[in-house]
Amino acid sequence: MLRKIRQLVLIISTLFLLNACSINMDGDLYIGDITDIADNGEKLFTPMDISFEMSSEDSCQQDKNKISNILNKYFSNFVAKECYSKDFSSYLKTGIDIPIILDTDQDGRVLNSNNDLVSITVVRREDNSSVIDVYLSLNKMMFNALNNELYDVFYQKISLENVNIKLSINNDGKNTESVSFASAFINGDPVVIYSTFDISRRQKLDYLGSNVSSSFFEKYGYTYILSVDIN
């Protein structure tokens, strides 16, 4: 009887392993990379940690390798780092290299990477070439394929409803740079309307996407992050 109860608990734990899964993205973005890509179109990579919510640390440890084997197909330089708990929730923390790509189509859509689940997309404005807009974009076909694989194994799918987007915006250049944001928290302060900040040399701003940004990313597969004025 005790054995059956244990088996039942294990089955339930597996079924709800990714239930109501929230995702935390935490990365670094360098203004020098943004301007270089806008100027020459060369694809670069920047490091990012993505944490996937789990049912418990024990479940995370048990299924870490199995989940990692699936996730590895959808990211560049994927590394499964650790299982941890925070604010009564458990997570699998992973490290990836996220591509930064140039979108030159100017067709009203935001380009995404063909080889990576998420990417940073750089767009130079047609009406003002000194301003570079930056987006976080999602490859929806890859996302659907990932969810299908996870469902086949765990009977659950990842939701982007509560995606948490956090970035450190670094000025790695020689001069002060002007960077604009909207619908975000900058250094912990809410920014609703389009607002411009100066970042001194070797300084940074901490960006946290708002609920509106997260919902837009879930619905449309991309969301606005910032703009750089290189005048």
H-helix or E-strand spanning residue 15: helix 2-15
Span 184-211, pLDDT tens digits: 999 999 999 999 999 999 999 999 999 9
**What pLDDT sits at residue 10?**
46
Span 142-179, pLDDT tens digits: 999 999 999 898 877 888 988 999 999 999 999 999 99
Residue 228 phi/psi, 5-degree rounding, is -115, 130
Cα–Cα distances in angstroms (integers) from residue 36 to residues 20, 95, 106, 227, in the given order: 39, 24, 19, 14
What integer is the mean pLDDT of 7-22?
50
CA 125/CA 22 separation, integer angstroms: 33
Task: Answer whether 137's CB lies under 8 Å from 221's CB.
Answer: yes
The tokens of 7 are what? 């088996």
Task: Answer whether 85's CB lies under 8 Å from 57's CB.
Answer: yes
CA 84, chain centre distance (Å): 19
CA 102/CA 119 separation, integer angstroms: 10
Alpha-carbon Rg for the chain, nearest whole angstrom, is: 19
Q: Report strand pairing: 23-30 vs 164-170.
A: parallel
* pTM of structure: 0.89
Q: Is the dihedral of CA 76, 82, 83, 88 positive or negative?
A: negative
